[in-house]
A and B are shown apart, each in its own frame.
Chain A
Amino acid sequence: MLSPKPFKICHQTCLALWRKVPIQRCVHVAAAARNSAFSLPGHSSQSRQSNEGGRVIFRRSLLVWSSSPRFFSSEHSSADPPLPSPTSASSEQSGESMTFLKFDDLSEEEQKRFQMLQFELEILRQSGHPVPSKITEKEWRKVMALSSRFSRLKFFRFLFMNEMSDINLKKKKAQASILRQAHCDQIKAEISENPEIMRYGLSFNTMFPYIRDTDMLKTYNIRLAYARTLGQPIIFDVDYDNWMSQREQTNTATQIRDSYALNKESRDPFWLQICNCRMENETMKALKSALPNMGEPSCLIEYTTKSYLDIFPRSQLVYLTYNAEATLDRFNHDDIYIIGGLVDKTNPKPLSMAKAKREGLRMAKLPLDTYLRWAVGGKNLTLNQMMGIMLDMKQHGDWEQAFLKHIPKRKYLQPEDLIPNHPNPYHRRPSATMRVDGGRIGRPQEYQNHKRRQRGVLETLLSK
């Protein structure tokens, strides 16, 4: 594993060798004699490295200088010797050493840039910017891809926030476990005092059987399998990878993961499909890491490189896009709805509308204006919100209830604040006459027909 060139083995490389991870060389630039007079509390002169979950994590003291005994100050007292010129500084004993991380596959130019970025991180830390205490190799490579200082600042802030939320979560969990322990101890003490008394409640005598998570998962999977054979398909079209930034691609993946979870826990799930996916794309990579069992039999999610046009009849397909002209008044149980797997935070363009137009598909938008008075924000919804609305519509067919449940509250005015027939349109409740069936709650006739049809199919299958 050692490269032929001899290099100075330090603590980091020893650890790297020991843990059999790819070697990151640790190079001392200008390793002069270190006679540290004083160092700031955060600056230990040793950089540590640990292996967490197979990833190499470098502790925060990547870049370290031992301090110098020589200072400059605003006033130089007569006792001070004259300031050394920069040329003489290196010859003196007051040199500092900075330890930089090094990746083997970088060229010399890139390595220099990498060193500058490490220096930048240290300076940002010194000037109080929110930066993470440790950065993994993968994250460093992302930092290297960013061209401007501002974007790097944003990325460091993002990592810092993640780190802080992790720490806070751990704190909360620790507190909760202390409380739980105290509660348990108290009950144990009570039981030991009078062991004769019958106790009712959870984890004592109760009429409810204990249902384990695995049992629930089995139930969910049975429903998903049923949907897989006979249910209504719903499609995520992840063909927009080139239009998204890295962050948006990751967001798309997490939203699809959340949609999958919603679908799984629903009483009447869809047959979830992901079309046009290429595994080399960032979105799919992120989805693979969000759903590690994707592609295995335990994960009932379908993904293909094919287009939906090759799988389903064109007449049944409906593309849901907020740029569409037509409104989806009624949820049709025979149609196959397509949701564009697209997060457009920075540069919204009518991409899904353009695609549906090009492919000559029917397209529709949700009847948001018929049921809600919009307050702020765009009328584009996240993928998991769309999934939630479609699942609810499949169950009960009431738009208003579905919207109120899944659209964030800030986006619309609350219905109880609105007045029917108010002269000011801002306070006026959306007209009920526009709604399908007057917006009544309950399953429409179509759903019953659909269920009857399904039952018929099942019976014919069973009779064979």
Chain B
Amino acid sequence: MRHIFLRSSQHRVILESFSFRDPLPASIFSATSLSSSSSWRSNPQQRDISNIARERTHNLIIRHAPDVKISPAKLRGSILEELSATPNFSKWHTILTGLCRGAEDRYVPADEWETAVQESRKKDNHKDRQAFFGSLMSLACSFRFHQCGASLLDFLHSSKTFVNVSVASNYVKLCGRLETPDFEEKILAAYAHVKRISPADIYDMGTAENLIAGLYRTSRWEECLKLLDIIEFTGRPSPTALSYVITGAFAHDHPSTALRLLKQLSTLHGTFGPAEMAFTAWFAYAKSKGLPTVMEMLTFTRDYEWFIPLEVARDLKAWFEKEQGWMAKFTTLSPRGECAACSEYMKPITITRDEFEKLRENFVKSVIEGTDVFLHTNPAELKRYRDFVEKNAPFDLVVDGLNVAYFQNSSNHDGRSLARQLLTVTEHLLHVRGKRILILGRMHMKRWPKSEMSRLSSLASLFFAENMSQDDPFILYAALYSGLGCNFLSGDLMRDHRFKLAVKDVELRKTFLKWQRTHQMQLFKVYGDHSASLKAPMKYSTVTQWTESSIHVPYLSGLPLGLHELPPSWLCLTKKLPNN
């Protein structure tokens, strides 16, 4: 949801005005009974074979596959996401609601389609005329209007209009969301049509993803793998497309393929995990195999730093309670990493000596000097700073002076109040931690009142960078130089430095993130001129972890998280002791 709103301001306005005042169609949530299929009537033998095949796949899907039904809030979110990608959607939406009488899915008769086409022919330009059927089908697909989509297809059929790839591929996707058992033959029929139009297996990314979104549920799901290869020709497969195929692979008992795809997802999209659907299918498969496979799944999520969604966490909880007879609770952790349910401490984040040395070596090379030393500093200043740090190190805390001085201080930029705030925080830090502090600032801070500045210099070491230099790399340098015992205090998230540190080396970037999480302190609040409260560095690692008697799984509760944030919600699973 969040990233839709950020995508474009223009869309945002439209999307916000596009409120869901009209209730969503009831048919979305109930199993709609579409007109029952009768295509095999002419050939009874063939019909039997197909029925057997269908029942077999249906059983499989009942055993493993996720429910196609989704909650109203999720549905709304996914509709909004799809609409934001549809060009000119408000116009098509008006036509669709006109045809469907508000937000109700219904079988639109051919004559109404005819009038709608004629009206749009009159008004529209050439471009929109071509896009009429494709856009309406994709919109029907977004809203899950199965009957409407089917009626559009029948209209094209009766008026002998050519069914183009856009319409057919969106119909495949629509049928992929169908809940009635005849989805498979519909998907396969539409897929065969698309194949007939493009016999050389040439698809673009959008078509291929639409086809995957339907095909993964059918017996021909393995062709999705071919489609993924086709996508790689012109781009990289999206997490959604990969999630569909993963779901298909788990549902059809092909765990090796699914695990290969999960690895691919991790290499392509990093910590951006599979969709909820894929996780559900994964867990459904794992629980049918027993506890070792479930643990394998949890190991996988730990190694790739993925978090399971809420629905799967609920399933996991229910399964452990019922099948395994464990105690299961949703909990949170204390800042020190203590589980509120079982009082067990989480494992700390560990950085090995070697990792840290590697990080330190690479830091100056790639961040401070980078491609051009002059972008952030100049060689003379860099030398002056390095000499200064060598002489005065090690520090226990490095403070971003300007960041602290300007914290909560957006209106009053007079030197005295800025200097006083910095002094207050420094005194508080000395009082609480009583250690050697380095404060980094810029040259213009020398113009701040003498009384405060002299007191500050008696409390801590001060270094002033030039006004045109960046001070963040200097802070990180001093903190890294002083070793693993040194923390730093800054509100800056240092994302650009993290990126520069290792454009290609993913491991190094991960090490930096670990180090940053365990060593960065942030100001929480400054109380007048006497004390301050701080956010301490993280003490525990937010990954799935287990001991002999318990398992702790972090999960995404659905509340919005920042890009750098980790989920605060945990699932605590403990073995019941025999005497209890």
List residues of chain A with CB under 8 Å of any chain B CB.
29-30, 37-43, 65, 67-68, 70-78, 80-86, 89-90, 94-96, 98, 112-113, 115-117, 119-120, 122-130, 147-149, 323-325, 349-351, 353-355, 357-358
Contacts and interface: CB of A to CB of B under 8 A. Distances in A.
A95 B199 contact: yes
Contact of B233 (A41, A75, A84, A112): A112
Interface in B177-228: 186, 189-190, 192-193, 195-200, 202-207
Contact of A325 (B204, B372, B468): B468
Contacts of A357: 374, 378, 468
A116 B156 contact: no
Of listed A80, A84, A126, residue having the most chain B CB within 10 A: A126
Given A123-B166, A123-B204, A358-B374, A83 B39 contact: yes
25 contacts: A29-B200, A39-B162, A40-B162, A42-B129, A68-B196, A72-B163, A74-B35, A76-B37, A78-B41, A81-B42, A82-B46, A83-B192, A86-B195, A112-B233, A115-B202, A120-B204, A120-B234, A126-B164, A127-B166, A128-B86, A128-B88, A149-B204, A353-B468, A354-B375, A358-B372
B495 interface: no
A83 B163 CA distance: 15
Nearest to B88: A128
Max count, chain A CB within 10 A of own CB: residue among B134, B190, B199: B199
B87 A116 contact: no
Given A37-B160, A42-B130, A127-B135, A74 B206 contact: no
A130 B127 CA distance: 8
B163 A96 contact: no
Contact of A73 (B41, B153, B197): B153
Contact of A42 (B46, B126, B156, B166): B126
B40 interface: yes
Nearest to B378: A357
A96 to B, nearest CB: 5
A351 B127 contact: no
B230 interface: yes
Nearest to A121: B204
Nearest to A148: B235
A358 B112 CA distance: 72
B375 A125 contact: no
Nearest to A126: B166
B192 to A, nearest CB: 5
Contacts of B115: none
B130 A40 contact: yes
B334 interface: no
Given A42-B126, A116-B234, A127-B138, A82 B196 contact: no
Given A29-B200, A83-B39, A130 B87 contact: yes
A72 B192 contact: yes
Contact of B156 (A37, A43, A71, A81): A71
Interface string B373-392: 01100100000000000000
A269 B137 CA distance: 60
Nearest to B165: A123
- Residue from the set A73, A80, A85, A119 with the largest chain B CB neighbour count within 10 Å: A73
A78 B160 contact: no
B451 interface: no
Contacts of B375: 349-351, 354
Contacts of A37: 160, 162
Interface of B is mostly: helix
Given A72-B193, A96-B196, A149-B205, A127 B150 contact: no
Given A123-B166, A129-B87, A82 B199 contact: no
Q: How large is the interface on B (under 10, 10 to 19, 20 to 34, 35 or more residues)?
A: 35 or more
A126 B154 contact: no
Contacts of A67: 162
Given A353-B468, A358-B374, A75 B204 contact: no
Contacts of B378: 357
Contacts of B150: 73-75
Given A123-B165, A127-B166, A128-B131, A84 B206 contact: no
Given A82-B43, A123-B204, 5 more contacts: A82-B46, A112-B233, A116-B230, A127-B166, A325-B467
A73 B35 CA distance: 12
A353 B378 CA distance: 11
Interface string B481-515: 00000000000000000000000000000000000
Contact of B157 (A73, A323, A358): A73
Contact of B207 (A43, A123, A351): A123
Contacts of A95: 196, 199
A42 B128 CA distance: 11
Contacts of A129: 87, 131
A60 B212 CA distance: 29
B46 A74 contact: no
Contacts of A75: 35, 37-38, 150, 154
Nearest to A71: B157
Contacts of A96: 196-197
Interface of B: 34-35, 37-43, 46, 86-88, 92, 126-131, 134-135, 138, 149-151, 153-154, 156-157, 160-170, 186, 189-190, 192-193, 195-200, 202-207, 230, 233-236, 372, 374-375, 378, 467-468
B160 A76 contact: no
A84 B149 CA distance: 22
Given A82-B42, A120-B204, A350-B375, A113 B233 contact: yes
Contacts of B157: 71-73
Contact of A68 (B40, B43, B197, B234): B197
B189 A72 contact: yes
B32 to A, nearest CB: 12
A113 B235 CA distance: 10
A269 B205 CA distance: 53
A113 B153 contact: no
A30 B166 contact: no
Select the residue from A72, A74, A77, A117 with max chain B CB neighbours within 10 A.
A74
Contacts of A147: 235
A119 B203 contact: yes
Given A112-B233, A120-B234, A354-B374, A76 B39 contact: yes
B192 A119 contact: no
A82 B189 CA distance: 10
B220 to A, nearest CB: 10
Interface centre among A86, A116, A125, A350 (most CB of B within 10 A): A116
Contacts of B127: 125, 128, 130
A125 B203 CA distance: 14
Nearest to B150: A74
A275 B190 CA distance: 61
Contacts of B233: 112-113, 116
Contact of A80 (B39, B151, B236): B39
Closest 9 CB pairs of A and B: A128-B131, A74-B150, A120-B204, A76-B39, A67-B162, A354-B374, A126-B166, A73-B157, A127-B134
Nearest to B195: A86
Contacts of A98: 197-198, 200, 202
Contacts of B167: 126
Contacts of B34: 74
Contacts of B468: 323-325, 350, 353, 357
Specify which of A123, A130, A324, A325 lies most central, judged by the most chain B CB atoms within 10 Å of its CB. Answer: A123
A93 B141 CA distance: 31
B151 to A, nearest CB: 7
A280 B173 CA distance: 48
Nearest to A130: B87
Nearest to B39: A76
A76 B131 CA distance: 26
Contacts of B86: 128
Given A71-B157, A74-B186, A128 B128 contact: yes
A350 B37 CA distance: 66
Contact of B154 (A38, A74, A351): A74
B38 A89 contact: no
